[in-house]
Amino acid sequence: MIRVGVRCRTAGARCPGCGSWSGRVHGSYLRFPADLPMAGRRVVLRLRVRRFTCEDVSCGRRTFVEQVAGLTRRYSQRTERMRSVLAEVGLALAGRAGARLADVFGARISRNTVLRLVDALPEPQPQVPRVVGVDEYAMRKGRVYGTVLVDVETRRPIDLLSDREAGTVAAWLAERPGIEVVCRDRAPFFAEGARIGAPTAVQVADRFHLWRNLGEAAERCVSRHRPCLRATFVDAVPEKAPAPAESGSPWPTGHRFADRTRAKHATVHALLTAGHSRRSIQRQLGMTYRTVQRLADAARAEDLFQGQWQNRPTKLDDFKPYLHERWAEGCTNAWALWEESKTHGYTGGYGAVRAYLQPFRTAPTAPAARPQSPRTVTSWILTHPGTLPESERLKLKAVLAGCPELDALTGHVRAFGKMLTQLQGDQLPQWIKAVRADDLPSLHTFVNGLERDLVAVTAGLTLP
């Protein structure tokens, strides 16, 4: 630690209560404010300060302590430049990270102190924006909403209002006469507030909300034509569950011992084809040489099957054709098939029937096609054709081919997207006229809203 002895040489000081000058010393004491570290060492000032007696009898203060301008403040444990540095660290990194960084350059401080220093900074006074964005935010979604105001040019929030009433927005705008453009959604209370509070400002309907509202209208339109989606994507669910053909192998596919033997046989023969010796295969697979030799000498995996089912008749053999026939007819309940087989003379148990039918259930089946949801089709319509994947483009083409209304909807959405991205607001009246000519009620509702706020919408599709 480095200690620096400091004392003030002025003849007196001014009382912070009444402002009168006093040179009458009441006493003195030592303060030890921490300063910025030097060469990796902590620096502490050994500051002797004087307490003066206020000579104004009407002042409520009897005594006061002198403060060194730019160095100390009342009750502070750090110098002013130390406070400013730590406050900047807190602004950049907040509490925990700021405290860790301060400890690195020799200023031990807790995270709560960092936050207190940040909180003690004066509130910044933002400049009056030229272009202000107005939108709502939810404090409790569906119940309590407020208003957020953003400087559109710097993209920084300016203020939060406790509600979204037109009068509150108008009062806020009236206090800032320098606002030239108000960018908002098409909510009537924001439009009214902008008209009252900033009558000379240009009102602009922002393009984000325009495109979002168009997407909602398009999804409602697609939902009205849900039968067309079902007609395009017909369910391909088979009426009867197919029964696999009889296998010539004594051990069926799906039996764990049979499948394991087949896998080992295929692996060994693959390594032999690749040029590995039998000894090498033995080391790689961790098998005995005799096992590798048996697998390598067998031309087919079925030649290796020996055991409980090899050429041994069972009680179920005579009833297997009947089980295949009933399975093909759609009866897949093993218990019901066992009961039916008993009426035809089968005397075996239920477990044998269930084990024989188990491979039938695990046979792979083709997934059935499902009709696309309205939201999925809407996302295809709202996506630029150049960025739509080929598979989704073909599916959308099939949907539009089966429904003229959705085909017309897609054309209108893409025309509006072109106006929005290329700032062709002068073409909006022709677009509205074209939409009116088609039987699209959901889109007509969207158009009605545009016409009620036509000036702001045209500005939103024209101004940068």
Residue 236 CB neighbour total at 10 angstroms: 10
DSSP letter for each residue of 370-420: -PPPHHHHHHHHHS-GGGS-HHHHHHHHHHHHT-HHHHHHHHHHHHHHHHH
Please report the pLDDT score of residue 236 as a whole number: 32
Distance of CA 353 to the CA centre of its chain: 51
Please report the pLDDT score of residue 308 as a whole number: 52
Give the whole-angstrom CA distance, residue 175 versus residue 194: 12
Dihedral (Cα; 116, 122, 127, 129), 10-degree rounding: 40
Structure tokens at 298: 């067998």
Element spanning 285, H or E: helix 278-285
Please report the pLDDT score of residue 78 as a whole number: 87
Structure tokens at 404: 């003229």
Residue 158 has pLDDT above 70, yes or no: yes
Structure tokens at 292: 């590798």
Percent of the chain with pLDDT over 90: 38
Tens-digit pLDDT profile for residues 220-261: 999 998 888 877 655 333 444 444 444 445 555 556 677 888
Q: Are the CB atoms for 182 and 194 separated by under 8 Å? A: yes
Please report the pLDDT score of residue 216 as a whole number: 94
Please report the pLDDT score of residue 244 as a whole number: 46
Please report the pLDDT score of residue 304 as a whole number: 79
Give the whole-angstrom CA distance, residue 447 versus residue 450: 5
Phi–psi pair at 6, nearest 5 degrees: -140, 140
Average pLDDT of span 190-197: 93
